[in-house]
């Protein structure tokens, strides 16, 4: 049956008439008919199709969940552009197989030296200037091990991983303060500070949450641990958090659940966590004055544990750094509106979003409160801080915004996206009254996070919303019992016509928790590395770079062999590398290429060494030649017609003594 009606002026078989306003070619109608496409399908296809050579105007930066990676996806085409290796080895980028990136990965090992080769990436946080994305850096946290990674958006490479010295799990990060002064890593499951041993019966006394303020140096592009600090929080399980901006600049809002301080133990007849942690009607929104906290930390009112300064809970209370206000039952997301006047909290077990007024919170903080939690933290009563509530339905989780005064909330249990209007100053931006639900669009299925164009910044755009659905069930061909997640792209450009579903993108790699969507024109990545011999680890020309092909060669110094090897299409120099079993090898590789996309690989079989050398890049690999034999090394990127000839031999002469 032909479902096409509106939007096409020609029926099947009509002569294609090219030219403006001439209608669609007959072939379109024919294809639509054959494939059973509706007019809406054709519009969706037209809105998302990206002709060859045309570029997407927006980038999604997506967490990779427990794949430990980050994914970059174009919008609206939903084409996967790149996977950035972060917490897990990744062979394409030569990440974790010798060379520079292996050192970055190792930086994130446990203080004991225990190797960590995966992470549970949760919340990508793009760097900001004045509350808007500046396109320079991307941060992401690892929930499983409490780590933070720094990705430089000039080359999309992970430059630094810091292991939190005092926390072992995190969640409410990473997100940045409005000028990326600090990257915040909020806690999740309380443990004693430094995850020292303490019995769970001492939960209230010994277990704590820890909010970490990583100081960021944008010039160096690195987190500076010595200038960072932490604040102790009560052992409520802190969840997502967001930094204020505009009138709320200087504050951090952080949800919590399990303010009951349930300690589980279903096996001993105790209520399981899921029941114990959901008993109370309200949990606590934490309000932290981070600017004041930074002053307090810098004035030395801290205790240093494992090299990190900590503002202890009594100090935080005494210095008025920390306040609580009740929030409805087991909340998940807290999101500050673009103008910074409100914080929107969504509670998994409450059908409303609750909107808190920053003005009211500030007044409450100034006045103080006689009501205290068991740790002496002042509690600002809910009716004194709340601005409004909007009933949306079942399982609201996270909220993002656009530039037209609308908010979009993910509805986990309803499997829907709710669009509603903001009040206050936003009231005049759209035709509907403020704080009103205007549309609910079903999505497939179990939506977690949600994103809109720069929708968590001071300057959101509009047009698209991305639903991050945790289940895909029947949306894609059966690939066995482990199913992909589903990113659904929604058209939100015409509020009057409602949101529409445009595209399903299967995500065949772990559960991406959160994405941010940035305008592509904010990015200015390198096309090739700016100089020959550039070391991406240091962002400088490496002193060991072999920029002059005449300097290629092999030098022996006792049992250390240093190889200086430039590479360019289609040869390594030298091609014969002779060493002795047991030698320490220091292998310098420099790409002399200046042509965009002329990447070479360096694979050394049997030694687990694999590098990617992009044009101009320099890397050094160090290892011990402990296996005798003949090992070809070769280029892994099809770089030229003579790519297969881009090869050399690594001769490891057996040591007669060692092999006796």
Q: Which residues bind ligand CUA (CB under 6 A)?
A: 570, 600, 635, 637-639, 643, 646
User: Interface mask (CB under 6 A) for ligand K7E, residues 41-80, using x and -?
Assistant: ----------------------------------------
Rule CB under 6 A: choose which of 395, 448, 484, 512 binds ligand K7E.
Answer: 448
Of the residues 151, 231, 240, 528, which one makes contact with ligand K7E according to CB under 6 A: 240
The count of other CB atoms within 10 Å of the CB of residue 372 is 12
Which residue of this chain has its Cβ atom nearest to ligand K7E in the complex? 448
In the shown chain, the binding pattern of residues 372 to 411 toward ligand K7E, with x for contact by CB under 6 A and - for none, equals: -------------------------xx-------------
Q: Tell me how far the alpha carbon of residue 535 is from its chain's centroid.
A: 24
| Contact in structure between 137 and 125 (CB atoms under 8 Å) | no
Q: Please name the residues in contact with 63: beta carbons below 8 A apart, sequence gap of 6 or more.
A: 70, 121, 122, 123, 124, 140, 512, 513, 514, 515
> Please, which residue, 416 or 639, has the CB nearer to ligand CUA?
639
Q: Which of ligand CUA, ligand K7E, none does residue 646 bind to, with CB < 5 to 8 Å depending on kind?
A: ligand CUA
- DSSP structural state of residue 10: -
Asked if residue 498 lies in contact with residue 586, where contact means CB atoms within 8 angstroms, the answer is: no
Q: 570 touches which of ligand CUA, ligand K7E, none (CB within 5 to 8 A by kind)?
A: ligand CUA
Pick between residue 171 and residue 222 the one whose CB is nearest to ligand K7E: 171
Does 332 interact with ligand K7E (rule: CB under 6 A)? yes
- Least distance (Å) from ligand K7E to the CB of residue 454? 18
Q: Are 2 and 8 in contact (CB under 8 A)?
A: no
The entry of ligand CUA, ligand K7E, none that residue 448 binds, CB within 5 to 8 Å by partner kind: ligand K7E
Instruction: Report the partner that residue 240 touches, choosing among ligand K7E, ligand CUA, none (CB closer than 5 to 8 A by kind).
Output: ligand K7E
Distance CA 294, CA 296 (A): 5
* Residue from 513, 588, 600, 618 in contact with ligand K7E (CB under 6 A): 513
Please answer whether residues 639 and 570 qualify as being in contact, where contact means their C-beta atoms are separated by less than 8 angstroms: yes
SS3 243: strand
d(CA 74, CA 442): 23
In the complex, the smallest distance separating the C-beta of residue 643 from ligand CUA, rounded to whole angstroms, is: 3
Interaction partner, residue 637 (ligand CUA, ligand K7E, none; CB < 5-8 Å by kind): ligand CUA
163 binds, among ligand CUA, ligand K7E, none (CB under 5 to 8 A by kind): none
Can you spell out the DSSP letters for 190-223?
A: -EEGGG----GGGHHHHEEEEEEEEEEETTTTEE
Asked if 204 and 261 touch (Cβ cutoff 8 Å), the reply is: yes
Is residue 503 a contact residue for ligand K7E (CB under 6 A)? Answer: no
Residue 639 partner contact from ligand K7E, ligand CUA, none using kind-dependent CB cut-offs of 5 to 8 Å: ligand CUA
Nearer to ligand K7E, 250 or 395 (CB): 395
CB nearer to ligand CUA: pick between 323 and 572: 572
Cβ at position 127, least distance to ligand K7E in Å: 19
* Helix (H) or strand (E) run with residue 80 in it: strand 80-85
# binding residues, ligand K7E (CB under 6 A): 11
Q: Is 449 one of the binding residues for ligand K7E (CB under 6 A)?
A: yes
Smallest distance, ligand K7E to C-beta of residue 350, A: 15
Nearer to ligand K7E, 286 or 513 (CB): 513
332 binds, among ligand K7E, ligand CUA, none (CB under 5 to 8 A by kind): ligand K7E
8 Å CB contact between 517 and 560 = no
Whole-angstrom Cα distance, residue 347 to residue 392? 11
Cα separation, 317 vs 130, in Å, equals: 29
Cα separations in angstroms, 427 against 404, 423, 434, 455, 652: 10, 5, 5, 18, 75
> Is residue 362 a contact point for ligand K7E (CB under 6 A)?
no
| Nearer CB in complex with ligand K7E: 240/310 | 240
Let me know: does 506 contact 484? Beta carbons within 8 Å. yes
Write out the E strands in 225-379: 229-233, 237-243, 251-257, 282-289, 303-305, 308-311, 322-328, 331-336, 342-347, 352-357
Indicate whether 171 belongs to the interface with ligand K7E (CB under 6 A): yes
- The contact set with ligand K7E (CB under 6 A) reads 122-123, 171, 240, 332, 397-398, 448-449, 513-514
């Amino acid at each position: 049956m032909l479902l096409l009606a509106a939007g096409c002026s020609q029926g099947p078989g009509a002569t294609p008439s090219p030219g403006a306003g001439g209608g669609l070619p007959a072939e379109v109608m024919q294809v639509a008919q054959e494939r059973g496409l509706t007019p809406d399908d054709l519009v969706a296809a037209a809105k998302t199709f990206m002709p060859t050579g045309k570029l997407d105007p927006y980038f999604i930066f997506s967490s990779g969940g427990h794949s430990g990676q980050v994914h970059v996806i174009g919008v609206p085409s939903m084409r996967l552009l790149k996977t950035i290796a972060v917490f897990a080895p990744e062979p394409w980028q030569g990440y974790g197989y010798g060379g520079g990136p292996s050192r970055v990965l190792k930086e994130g090992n446990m203080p004991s030296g225990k190797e960590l080769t995966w992470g549970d990436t949760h919340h990508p946080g793009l760097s900001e200037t004045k509350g808007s994305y500046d396109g320079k850096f991307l941060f992401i946290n690892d929930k499983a091990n409490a780590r933070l990674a720094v990705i430089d958006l000039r080359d999309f490479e992970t430059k630094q991983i810091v292991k939190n010295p005092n926390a072992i799990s995190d969640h409410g990060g990473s997100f940045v303060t409005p000028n990326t002064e600090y990257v915040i890593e909020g806690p999740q499951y309380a443990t004693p500070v430094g995850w020292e041993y303490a019995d769970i019966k001492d939960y209230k006394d010994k277990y704590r949450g820890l909010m970490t303020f990583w100081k960021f140096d944008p010039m160096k592009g690195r987190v500076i641990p010595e200038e960072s600090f932490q604040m102790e929080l009560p052992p409520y399980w802190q969840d997502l958090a967001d930094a204020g901006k505009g009138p709320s600049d200087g504050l951090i809002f952080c949800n919590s659940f399990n303010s009951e301080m349930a300690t589980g133990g279903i096996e001993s007849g105790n209520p399981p966590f899921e029941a114990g942690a959901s008993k109370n009607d309200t949990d606590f929104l934490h309000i932290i004055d981070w600017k004041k906290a930074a002053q307090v930390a810098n004035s030395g009112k801290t205790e240093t544990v494992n090299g990190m300064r900590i503002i202890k809970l009594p100090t935080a209370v005494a210095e008025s750094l920390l306040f609580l206000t009740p929030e409805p039952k087991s909340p998940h997301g807290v999101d500050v509106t673009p103008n910074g006047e409100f914080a929107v909290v969504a509670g998994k077990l409450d059908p409303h979003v609750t909107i808190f007024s920053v003005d009211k919170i500030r007044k409450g903080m100034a006045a103080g409160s006689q009501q205290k939690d068991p740790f002496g933290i002042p509690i600002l009563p809910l009716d004194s801080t709340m601005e409004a509530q909007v009933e949306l339905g079942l399982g609201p989780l996270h909220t993002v915004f656009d530039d037209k005064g609308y908010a979009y909330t993910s509805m986990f249990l309803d499997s829907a996206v709710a669009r509603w209007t903001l009040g206050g100053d936003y009231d005049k931006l759209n035709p509907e009254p403020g704080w009103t639900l205007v549309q609910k669009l079903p999505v497939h299925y179990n939506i977690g996070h949600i994103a809109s164009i720069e929708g968590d910044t001071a300057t959101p755009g509009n047009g698209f919303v991305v639903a991050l659905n945790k289940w895909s069930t029947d949306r894609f061909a059966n690939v066995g019992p482990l199913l992909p997640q589903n990113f659904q792209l929604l058209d939100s450009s015409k509020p009057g016509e409602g949101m529409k579903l445009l595209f399903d993108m299967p995500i065949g790699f772990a559960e991406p928790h959160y994405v941010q969507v940035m305008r592509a024109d904010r990015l200015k990545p390198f096309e090739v590395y700016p100089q020959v011999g550039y070391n991406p680890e240091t962002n400088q020309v490496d002193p060991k770079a072999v920029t002059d092909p005449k300097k290629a060669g092999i030098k022996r110094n006792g049992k250390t062999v240093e190889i200086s090897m430039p590479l360019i299409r289609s040869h390594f120099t030298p091609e014969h590398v002779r060493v002795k079993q047991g030698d320490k090898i220091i292998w310098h590789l420099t790409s002399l290429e200046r042509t965009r996309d002329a990447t070479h690989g360096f694979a050394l079989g049997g030694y687990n060494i694999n590098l990617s050398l992009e044009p101009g890049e320099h890397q050094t690999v160090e290892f011990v030649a402990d296996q005798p034999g003949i090992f070809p090394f070769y280029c892994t990127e099809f770089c030229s017609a003579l790519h297969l000839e881009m090869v050399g031999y690594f001769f490891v002469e057996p040591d007669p003594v060692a092999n006796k």
